[in-house]
Structure 1
Amino acid sequence: MEIREILESLEKGKISINNAKKMLSLYSIEEIEGIAKIDINRRKRKGIPEVIFAESKKLDEIKKIIQKTLEKTNSVVVSRINKGDYAKILAFAKKSKFKVKTGKNSSTLVLYKKPIIFKGGKVGILAAGTSDIGVAEEARLMSEAMNCKCISSYDVGVAGIQRIFPILKEMISEDVDCIIVVAGMEGALATLVSSMVDIPVIGIPTSIGYGYGGKGIAALASMLQSCSLGLSVVNIDNGIAAGAISANIANRAIRKNRTK
């Protein structure tokens, strides 16, 4: 059925709203020259913007996907950009008059047309060490692309445990809806934070570490084995997933509060 037929059938009561929604979702895929199929309506359906995984793509392919996506939506996240392509994508964005959000030590960018307004929930982001900042910033960019306000603090790991308390107090005072904890080595910070708050905690193990259990394996195992309830864990270095989950939690919480 064409879109008009779907809408006419809905108006006449021949199909349900749920069936119409399902049928319309079939029209939300945009194909680009045999390179990629973009989920244009993902933002409307899930609240999550389109994300381009740039690491395995050629520069020209990335540019085409960015261009096509921003013809249809306001923003796109480009993650894991190869070092040689990063400056070229920034130059392309400037030439195309797209606005850009960057992150410290991060290979991820958010490109957008109209300003992103922080009208959603609040997300707290903690990084155990300075080596974890790039992944934390990736999570921040994803959360902000989903309209969340982020409160961040880095280098607050368990090696100097006293550093965590002031920022946790601030996050509780600010009534954050979710906390992302980024940690490598043994990944202990996520368990510590989860044990002290009644807020959902998303742990990101990072590939910072060496020797036995190196490359994030020990941090991942530690977080998965955590005895502190209220902690969920994403894959190693997966700031995009943690940002999306946390923002969805925060945005749902703010919607519920607004309807009370």
Structure 2
Amino acid sequence: MTEQKSPPNRALPGLLIAGSLAGVAAVTVGVLQLAPVPDGGAQPDERPSTIEMVNAGASQLAPTVGPGGADVPLLPAKLDAPPPPAAVPTVAPFPRAKTAKSRQALRPVRIRIPDIKVNAPIGRVTVDDKGALGAPPLSKPNLAGWYRFSPVPGALGPAIVNGHVNTRSGPAVFNRLAELAKGDQIYVYRSDGKVTRFTVSGIEQVSKGSFPTSRVYGNTDNAQLRLVTCGGVYNKTTHSYADNVIVYATLSKKKG
């Protein structure tokens, strides 16, 4: 399914998370508020994707997140590498909602990614009592999940959206996520009627044992988006994937 951790103190309320699944790397002290740990991808009904890539060895690590695209291997960036720079000029985020009530009501409702034919509703996900970030129900394979304690897409900071790569019934919402490349467009529709367009700036595939917490959830000075799903080799015994595929995108247009 997906792997995620929570945004920094500016983007999220302080969230104490204990425990770790699938050997996820510890949160870097002083960089983030404690973040949700990956759920390990242990979804019993999830089956391997048609796209199965194996991580490169440690000596072959790419210094930064790659551009992605057809026939371009997805290599994990070094854990201390920064997120990729925006592919196009950035746009100022929407102003923060003025009241607690309006912040609570505001949420993303739909995601559209033309290049991989995604047009799906967005629900909400949160963490369980062990600190693992949840995923949309397997009974709704076309549903994406917004981490409800991350920024609303278009607001300051990294908004986190996850989704299954597939389930027992077939391909799921993010089955083709690994095909995205730098410059591709992602549209997120919000409950306030506003539409945000993000431009992909980079993509990587990483082992669940070395999830790049600070790169995914760290504070940013603009509005960004992270899409996360499972990838790599599927273990039939544990019913989980070895890796995560992570897409990094930056707000490039807004309307409404």
TM-score, with normalisation over the residues of structure 1?
A: 0.25
Between structures 1 and 2, the one with greater helix share: 1
Between structures 1 and 2, the one with greater strand share: 2
Work out which structure has the larger RCO, using CA pairs closer than 8 Å and 6 or more positions apart in sequence: 2
Q: Which has the larger radius of gyration?
A: 1
